[in-house]
Amino acid sequence: MPELTTLASPLDVGGVRIRNRVFLAPMSGITDEPFRQRAHAHGAGLVVSEMVASGELAKGRAGCDLRIRHSGLPVHMVQLAGREAAHMAEGGRIAAGEGADIIDINMGCPAKKVTGGYAGSALMRDLDHALSLIEAVVGAVAVPVTLKMRLGWDESALNAPILARRAEEAGIKMVTVHGRTRCQFYQGKADWRAIARVRQAVSIPVVANGDVGSPQEAAAILEQSGADAVMIGRAHYGAPWIAGSVAAAAAGISAPGISETPRALADYVVAHYEDMLSLYGIESGLRQARKHLGWYLDRHAAGVSAEQRKRVLTSFEPAEVILGLRDALADIGMSNELRSAA
């Protein structure tokens, strides 16, 4: 079985070289350009765009351009979602035209607004249709195409190994498996051992995902799944450096982080906030940033007063938000987690 040190080595995905095997998961509304740039700077091997609806992208809907535009990182990976083959193919062509080095197909999102439109993990209920989408994207682009899925729709249909095998035959170059069914959403514990059945079904790289946030958990998921790489999602809330810290632990080096001082953390959070305002504009940026600011406060300033928290998360004045952030973080000692990652 792979060991933690395996994660420090490069990985080839359809001819694209990935610098290490600890990846930032695509998360809608979270892994935008500022977040991906930070995760990459901290050492994540691969970062993936937030999910883009292929139909909206094909129709030129506002906002899609921000999700697929190249951010200057060595590997630009865009994730597409949808259920119409024509839209998926066109979305793939548009993303590749914008410089995508890898295109990922989403068949894992459990959100009702996605599965209700028969996209995301709902596609695991109809593998023939799922394969038609894979074939459409693979046939439309010259770059590698990958696939992200769950174990299945529910416990009665754990068909991830079948989908993975058919996807490989259709030209998919890597599969990522979240160790839960769609009907579990994020409840319970991810079944890392079940991912091993996918690893046994294919010869392409398999990435294990679900409930990983530390080097110890990364080592455990590798041991139980036999996967080639790990993907980390929700552990990054308020901590864009998590994948990088795991990769550094695998390599036996210090993680690229931030200085172990409250002021440095405040500077870091403020810079992230300002980058979001620059990307989205003041009005939209204020709203988009609030969840991130809330996670930073939850993680690193849990003792902040309700009044201070409200000031940060409800103000419509960027200067007031920044002042509130600095006040909230200035006197809070760095958490043990941040110290270990810095």
SS (HEC) of 91-125 = HHHHHHHCCCCEEEEEECCCCHHHHCCCCHHHHHH
In 3D space, the residue among 236, 238, 245 whose CA is nearest the CA of residue 273 turns out to be: 238
pTM of the model: 0.93
Of the ranges 17-21, 117-121, 179-183, which is most confident? 17-21
CB atoms within 10 A of CB 331: 10
pLDDT tier at 303, thresholds 50, 70, 90: confident
Q: How far apart are CA 52 and CA 137, in angstroms?
A: 14
Is the pLDDT at 73 greater than 80, yes or no? yes
What letter does residue 291 receive in the DSSP assignment? H
As a whole number, mean pLDDT of residues 142-159 equals: 94
**Pick the residue with more confidence: 195 or 121?**
195
As a whole number, mean pLDDT of residues 336-342 equals: 44
pLDDT tier at 155, thresholds 50, 70, 90: confident
**Pick the residue with more confidence: 259 or 247?**
247
Is the pLDDT at 118 greater than 90, yes or no? no
Which amino acid does the sequence have at 341?
A: A
As a whole number, mean pLDDT of residues 72-79 equals: 97
Q: How far apart are CA 277 and CA 290, in angstroms?
A: 11
Alpha helices in the chain (DSSP H): 33-42, 54-58, 64-68, 85-97, 112-115, 127-140, 160-169, 192-201, 215-225, 242-251, 262-280, 282-300, 306-314, 318-330, 336-341
Is the pLDDT at 342 greater than 50, yes or no? no
The contacts of residue 338 (CB under 8 Å, 6+ apart) are 239, 257, 258, 260, 265, 299, 300
pLDDT at residue number 257: 62
Helix (H, G, I), strand (E, B) or coil at 330: helix
pLDDT tier at 335, thresholds 50, 70, 90: very low
Catalytic residue among 27, 58, 103, 109: 109
pLDDT tier at 43, thresholds 50, 70, 90: very high
Which sign does the torsion angle of CA 308, 312, 315, 320 carry? positive
As a whole number, mean pLDDT of residues 24-29 equals: 95
As a whole number, mean pLDDT of residues 260-283 equals: 92
Mean residue pLDDT across the chain: 92
pLDDT at residue number 334: 45
pLDDT at residue number 282: 95
pLDDT at residue number 111: 85
**64 is a catalytic site residue:** no
pLDDT at residue number 46: 98
Of 41-45, 63-67, 146-150, where does mean pLDDT reach its minimum?
A: 63-67
pLDDT at residue number 337: 45
Q: Are 160 and 149 in contact (CB under 8 A)?
A: yes
Is the pLDDT at 134 greater than 50, yes or no? yes
pLDDT at residue number 332: 57
In 3D space, the residue among 88, 103, 85, 87 whose CA is nearest the CA of residue 142 turns out to be: 103
